[in-house]
């Protein structure tokens, strides 16, 4: 095996040109030239965050007759979906609208953005995405931004005996333009601007730079152009690790908390150098608000902060300035993002002393997912064949865990004829007789707390991980292994707050188990009666007969060619499969015809898969017609003849080919369904 020649490797894979491009530096005039060519480099933090989100593109879809925008940024294309957010597109739209409004200067830029939701609902993931996205965006030409440092040819007393002094809050260089001439300067700068943002200069430089600017102005007798020769502008790369433009603050023990962690503190070692603790050059502008200037600051569990910290937030949000110890108000340009759970938010609401903060807060709810197909994506991201190559995950294993999680989050339907499971299916896009998009939208509206309670994705992930470890030698993880792990962990789950809640979670687990039983029977049934064409033919025949029956017409017999009445016996043989009684048959048939008519008006064609109950009935009818070719109950007997074994192997191979089973879980599924038949059960929905 040949070794790596590090010199050749670096020369081939590392670009010095890219490094130079990202570390551009130039004079103040060269920077003004850059701004004239590309005004976007002088955007504020809110504008930059909004443009960063939009740079990844969008797509739209319709839900409940409303157009929903999906922002691809939240799919986490930066790290191949590592922090992808699923199932809360409506809430992410509200979040992006907040940034859009702030970018346009409509007022939300003076607010604290508060992500509110239950534990494990992706609040931290959204924060991570925004910080990570902003870092990467600052490295692109589209997201470029610049700051400055003071320089001198000699070790200058003004610069504290040094040849350079970086702007401690990496501020926008245009803030060095004197306030007296800014209006006219901006008028000239914006004259030929056709961009969506007008260039603005807001606020003054920090106290240290203000002091240095004043000293150089005195030295050069007010010649500002001479002073600007001591300014070197350079590209600014935001980095959370380097504490440049991205800050994170986490509450600690109250005795150890100090508001200087937000606004900076005096550097006592430099007092001897500068002679006074009132000299701003002797101040460390390294609080989270200071270092997050030009970017974003995240407050983890924001409402757990000490009251003194929350007061700092008031000025930082509304006035967009902070008050460092012993110095005047200092302007900041940053997004203030906090997140909190519900108990802490309720505490804020009930605290009359925090009215000012409430008034300056925009709350964005981040609830749990209530749509099954989206919840499944969370676990498919973590548990798949790439990440777990040694273990097959049986079909429906992750689906059932997801189903149980969502069942615990749904509110009890107010309609007596609707179960939680049916509600879950409606939310997931399935159809039920008597329910259209408007009805489902109404269901969502009347459930105020849906998605704010229940089981978190973290619990599901933990239990799936446990099940994988415990059953590592089985070769396949099936739904029963996951069910057992989910149930056994409940009694020790720290977020189960009462016996009633525990009982409710167990009831929903029983519902999910029963649903799996029906699904696995359905898989076996489909493997036996796998002919799609036969189902379509059966469906067409059923629809023709229903149409003839409801419109009191006759139908032509395709064998004899004669016109005959609708075949009532045939119709009932299908309807009985889904327990439609004689007294309800007319209603069911009219519902089917009305649905087909409504689709025709919209220019759509009816497909039997659109109606879950009819689809099920047709499959059961076909299964009944074909099931005698194999007796399922023989599978679990000790003696299986060669002919039966061959048929069993064919069913297993179909399950493996068509439904994603492996040999182990296909055998388990067949044995399970056979045991149900042995008890005298039948395949019914």
3-state secondary structure 527-571: HHCCCHHHHHHHHHHHHHHHHHHHCCCCEECCCCCCEECCCHHHH
434 sits in the region (left: phi over 0; alpha: psi -120 to 50; else beta) called left
Percent of the chain with pLDDT over 90: 49
- φ, ψ at 594 (rounded to 5°): -65, -40
Q: What are the respective helix, strand and coil percentages of the chain, to the nearest 5?
A: 55, 10, 35
Query: What's the chain's average pLDDT?
Result: 87
Residue 675 has pLDDT above 90, yes or no: no
Question: What pLDDT shows up at residue 348?
Answer: 76
- The pair of structure tokens assigned to 408 is 């615990």
Question: What pLDDT shows up at residue 151?
Answer: 96
Question: What pLDDT shows up at residue 48?
Answer: 96
Q: Which of 121-125, 156-160, 620-624 has the lowest mean pLDDT?
A: 620-624
Q: Which of 122, 174, 38, 113 is nearest to 296 (CA)?
A: 113
Q: Strand 283-284 relative to strand 330-331: parallel, antiparallel, unpaired?
A: unpaired
Question: What pLDDT shows up at residue 172?
Answer: 96
List the Cα angle 522/526/530 in 5-degree steps: 170
Question: What pLDDT shows up at residue 218?
Answer: 96
Q: Strand 231-235 relative to strand 146-156: parallel, antiparallel, unpaired?
A: antiparallel
Q: How many residues does the chain have?
A: 685
- Which helix (DSSP H) or strand (DSSP E) does residue 218 occupy? helix 207-219
- Domain 22-367 class? alpha beta
> Is the pLDDT higher at 431 or at 178?
178
Confidence of residue 77 (pLDDT cuts 50, 70, 90): very high
Question: What pLDDT shows up at residue 634?
Answer: 57
- The pair of structure tokens assigned to 192 is 């030929």
Residue 539 has pLDDT above 90, yes or no: no
Alpha-carbon gap, residue 391 to 473, rounded angstroms: 9
Residue 60 has pLDDT above 90, yes or no: yes
Percent of the chain with pLDDT over 70: 93
Q: Report the pLDDT averaged over residues 87-111.
A: 94
Q: Which of 166-180, 223-237, 467-481, 564-578 has the lowest mean pLDDT?
A: 564-578
Q: Report the pLDDT averaged over residues 51-55.
A: 96
Confidence of residue 228 (pLDDT cuts 50, 70, 90): very high
- Highest average pLDDT, of 274-278, 365-369, 567-571, 620-624, comes from 365-369
Question: What pLDDT shows up at residue 684?
Answer: 42
Q: Report the pLDDT averaged over residues 636-662.
A: 79
| DSSP for 420-478, written as a single string | HHHHHHHHTT--BTTB-HHHHHHHHHH-TTTTTSS--HHHHHHHHHHHHHHTTTTSEE-
Alpha-carbon gap, residue 71 to 91, rounded angstroms: 11
In the chain, where does the domain assigned CATH 3.40.50.300 lie?
22-367
Confidence of residue 575 (pLDDT cuts 50, 70, 90): confident
> Looking only at Cα atoms, what is the longest distance across the chain?
112
Question: What pLDDT shows up at residue 428?
Answer: 92
- The pair of structure tokens assigned to 245 is 């433009």
Model confidence over 399-456: pLDDT tens digits? 999 999 999 999 998 888 899 999 999 999 888 888 888 888 888 888 888 988 999 9
- The pair of structure tokens assigned to 101 is 């409004």
- Write down the pTM of the prediction: 0.82
Model confidence over 305-356: pLDDT tens digits? 777 777 788 889 989 999 888 888 999 999 999 998 887 888 777 777 678 7
| DSSP for 96-141, written as a single string | HHHHHHHHTTSSGGGSEEEEE-STTSSHHHHHHHHHHHHHHHTTSS
Q: Report the pLDDT averaged over residues 482-488.
A: 93
Confidence of residue 685 (pLDDT cuts 50, 70, 90): very low
- The pair of structure tokens assigned to 594 is 């009305």
Question: What pLDDT shows up at residue 498?
Answer: 85
Question: What pLDDT shows up at residue 142?
Answer: 94
Alpha-carbon gap, residue 21 to 250, rounded angstroms: 35
Rg (CA), the chain: 33
- Highest average pLDDT, of 5-9, 63-67, 467-471, comes from 467-471
Q: Give burial (CB, 10 Å; 0-12/13-18/19+) of 191.
A: exposed
- The pair of structure tokens assigned to 181 is 């001439």
Measured CA to CA in angstroms, residue 133 lies from 76, 238, 256 at distances of 9, 10, 32
Question: What pLDDT shows up at residue 365?
Answer: 92
Residue 64 has pLDDT above 60, yes or no: yes
Question: What pLDDT shows up at residue 682?
Answer: 47
Residue 683 has pLDDT above 50, yes or no: no
Which residue shows structure tokens 């939009």? 54
Confidence of residue 211 (pLDDT cuts 50, 70, 90): very high
Q: Report CA torsion sign: 345, 351, 357, 359.
A: positive
- Long-range CB contacts for residues 75-79, cutoff 8 Å, separation at least 24: 76/129, 78/132, 78/133, 78/136, 79/132
């Amino acid at each position: 095996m040949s070794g790596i020649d590090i010199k050749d490797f670096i020369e081939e894979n590392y670009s010095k040109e890219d490094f130079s491009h990202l570390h551009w530096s130039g004079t103040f005039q060269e920077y003004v030239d850059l701004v004239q060519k590309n005004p976007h480099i002088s955007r504020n933090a809110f504008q930059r965050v909004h443009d960063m989100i939009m740079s990844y593109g969008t797509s739209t879809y319709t839900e409940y007759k409303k157009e929903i925008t999906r922002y691809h940024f939240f799919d986490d294309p930066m790290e191949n979906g590592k922090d992808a957010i699923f199932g809360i597109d409506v809430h992410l739209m509200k979040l992006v609208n907040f940034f859009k409004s702030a970018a346009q200067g409509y007022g939300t830029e003076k607010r604290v953005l508060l992500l509110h939701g239950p534990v494990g609902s992706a609040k931290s993931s959204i924060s991570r995405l925004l910080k990570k996205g902003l870092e990467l965006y600052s490295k692109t030409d589209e997201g470029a931004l610049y700051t400055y440092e003071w320089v001198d040819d000699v070790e200058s007393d003004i610069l504290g005996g040094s040849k350079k002094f970086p702007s401690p809050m990496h501020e926008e260089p245009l803030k060095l333009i004197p306030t007296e001439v800014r209006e006219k300067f901006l008028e000239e700068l914006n004259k030929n601007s056709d961009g969506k943002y007008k260039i603005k200069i807001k606020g003054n430089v920090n106290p240290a730079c203000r002091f240095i600017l004043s000293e150089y102005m005195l030295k050069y007798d007010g010649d500002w152009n001479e002073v600007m020769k001591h300014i070197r502008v350079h590209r600014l790369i935001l980095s959370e690790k380097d504490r440049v433009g991205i800050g994170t603050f986490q509450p600690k023990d109250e005795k150890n908390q100090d508001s200087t962690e937000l606004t900076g503190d005096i550097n006592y070692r430099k007092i001897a150098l500068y002679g006074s603790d009132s000299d701003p050059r002797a101040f460390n502008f390294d609080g989270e608000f200071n270092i997050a200037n030009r970017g974003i600051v995240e407050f983890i569990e924001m409402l757990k902060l000490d009251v003194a910290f929350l007061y700092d937030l008031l000025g930082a949000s509304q006035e967009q300035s902070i008050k460092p110890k012993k110095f005047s108000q200092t302007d900041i340009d940053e997004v203030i993002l906090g997140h909190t759970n519900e108990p802490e938010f309720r505490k804020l609401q009930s605290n009359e002393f925090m009215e000012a903060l409430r008034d300056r807060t925009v709350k964005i709810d981040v609830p749990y997912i209530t749509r099954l197909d989206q919840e499944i994506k969370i676990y498919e991201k973590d548990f798949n064949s790439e990440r777990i190559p040694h273990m097959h995950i049986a079909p429906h294993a992750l689906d059932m865990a997801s189903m149980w999680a969502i069942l615990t989050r749904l509110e009890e339907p107010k309609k007596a004829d609707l179960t939680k499971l049916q509600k879950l299916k409606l939310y997931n896009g399935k159809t039920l007789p008597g329910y259209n998009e408007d009805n489902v939208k109404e269901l969502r509206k009347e459930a105020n707390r849906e998605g704010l309670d229940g089981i978190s994705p973290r619990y599901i992930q933990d239990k799936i991980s446990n099940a994988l470890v415990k059953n590592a030698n089985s070769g396949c993880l099936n739904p029963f292994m996951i069910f057992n792990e989910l149930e056994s962990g409940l009694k020790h789950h720290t977020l189960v707050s009462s016996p009633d809640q525990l009982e409710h979670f167990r009831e929903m687990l029983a519902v999910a188990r029963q649903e799996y039983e029906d699904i696995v029977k359905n898989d076996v049934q489909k493997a036996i009666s796998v002919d799609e064409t036969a189902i379509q033919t059966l469906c067409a025949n059923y629809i023709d007969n229903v149409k003839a029956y409801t419109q009191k017409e006759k139908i032509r017999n395709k064998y004899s060619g004669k016109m005959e009445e609708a075949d009532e016996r045939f119709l009932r043989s299908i309807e009985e499969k889904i327990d439609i009684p004689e007294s309800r048959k007319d209603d069911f048939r009219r519902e089917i015809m009305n649905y087909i008519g409504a689709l025709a008006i919209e220019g759509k064609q009816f497909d039997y898969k659109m109606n879950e109950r009819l689809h099920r009935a047709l499959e059961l009818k076909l299964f009944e017609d074909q099931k005698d070719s194999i007796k399922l109950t023989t599978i679990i007997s000790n003696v299986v003849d060669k002919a039966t074994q061959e048929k069993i192997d064919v069913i297993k191979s179909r399950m493996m080919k068509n439904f994603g089973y492996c040999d182990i879980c296909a055998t388990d599924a067949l044995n399970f369904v056979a045991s149900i038949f042995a008890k005298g059960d039948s395949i019914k929905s």
